[in-house]
Amino acid sequence: MILITRIKELRAKNGLTQEDLARLVGVRRETIIHLEKGKYNPSLKLAWDIAQALGTTVDEIFTFLEG
C-alpha cells in the first residue's frame, strides 16, 4: 500500500511550518518530513492529532492506495 498525504498542502494553508506542526502534535520535525513524503505511517493517535491541529479529519489528510 502507498500512503498519500495532504499534510504539506493543509499545513501551508494553515500558515504552519513543519516545526510548528511538530510542536503542536508532540513529535520531531523529522517525523513531519517523513509523513509528508509518505515514508512513515502514523499511529491512529498521531493521525488524529494532526487532523485536529490542521482543523480537518483524518480521512481528508490520509489516503492509502493499492500498489
Is the pLDDT score of 5 beyond 80? yes
Query: What is the mean predicted confidence (pLDDT) over 11-32?
Result: 98
Residues 29-61 have pLDDT tens digits of 999 999 999 888 999 999 999 999 999 999 999
From residue 58, give the alpha-carbon distance in Å to each of 50, 63, 66. 8, 9, 18
At residue 57, the pLDDT reads 97
